[in-house]
Amino acid sequence: MRIDIITIFPGYFEPLSMSLIGKAAGRGDIEFAVHDLRAWARDVHHTVDDSPYGGGPGMVMKPEPWGDALDAVLPAPDPAGPPHQAGPGQVRLVVPAPSGRPFTQEMAVGYSRMDRLVFACGRYEGIDTRVIDEARARVPVDEVSIGDYVLAGGEPAVLVMAEAICRLLPGVLGNAESAADDSFGGGPGSGMSGLLEGPVYTRPRIWRDREVPPVLLSGDHAAIARWRRDAALRRTAQNRPDLAARLQPLDERDRQVLSEAGFPVNGEDVAH
């Protein structure tokens, strides 16, 4: 996978050279290219923003440098091809924005299957909307939010999304099964689909008079799996009732655990 990032703060992305993702990049499994938007500014001061039409506070990122940057970074469109088929491979432009659709584990999985992602990091009040509209005629474009809050720029959001995406790529995690047991992303075979991950433990067995749950030491894999699912159900009901309300299908034990957690379920497996 290749990931291009356009930003006015290229140094922000040094963490991508660290940890497992940095090692994967060092092996050539991931290619990162960080581009300084100011390289496409058209004046001696490398200006990339201006006051908004219609008045109001803040500044808006100018279309000229962004248009030139995307012309240089995005693949050239194929005049003979259908819309959204620009050049070889699958390419998508992702624009972090608080007004975008929420970023989810499901989206991370989808993005991890792309050949190439281009991230456009806005600042101030955002990028001139015409830039996004023009880009949509060339490649698929997603405006994406990582949460219901506002950041100073898109860079932190890109770091979050890049890590969520890249850790799903083959060979990045030491144990391929780790991603299957993640919160939100447990596959159908894991028995954890749609649940938050439950509590985890390691050695020593007793720490500050707190003991590891005995079932985890029992060697009974079926009992351990059931305990983990019960713990995940309780945590999901407590911390994310919106997710608990969508859990299907549920067995009798699931319904009992949710009910004990104050989240009763009716006969149609609808929690309320």
Catalytic center residues:
98, 125, 167, 182
- Cβ-based neighbours of 52, under 8 Å, separated by 6 or more: 58, 59, 60, 125
206: enclosing H helix or E strand: strand 206-207
**How many residues can be counted in the chain?**
272
Burial of 177 (0-12, 13-18, 19+ CB in 10 A): exposed
Contact 112, 146 (CB under 8 A): no
Contact 13, 155 (CB under 8 A): yes
- Cβ-based neighbours of 212, under 8 Å, separated by 6 or more: 201, 205, 206
- Residue 105 and residue 185: Cα distance in Å, rounded? 6
Give me the half-sphere count of Cα atoms (radius 13 Å) on the Cβ side of residue 62.
Answer: 17
Specify the residue for token string 């993640």.
182
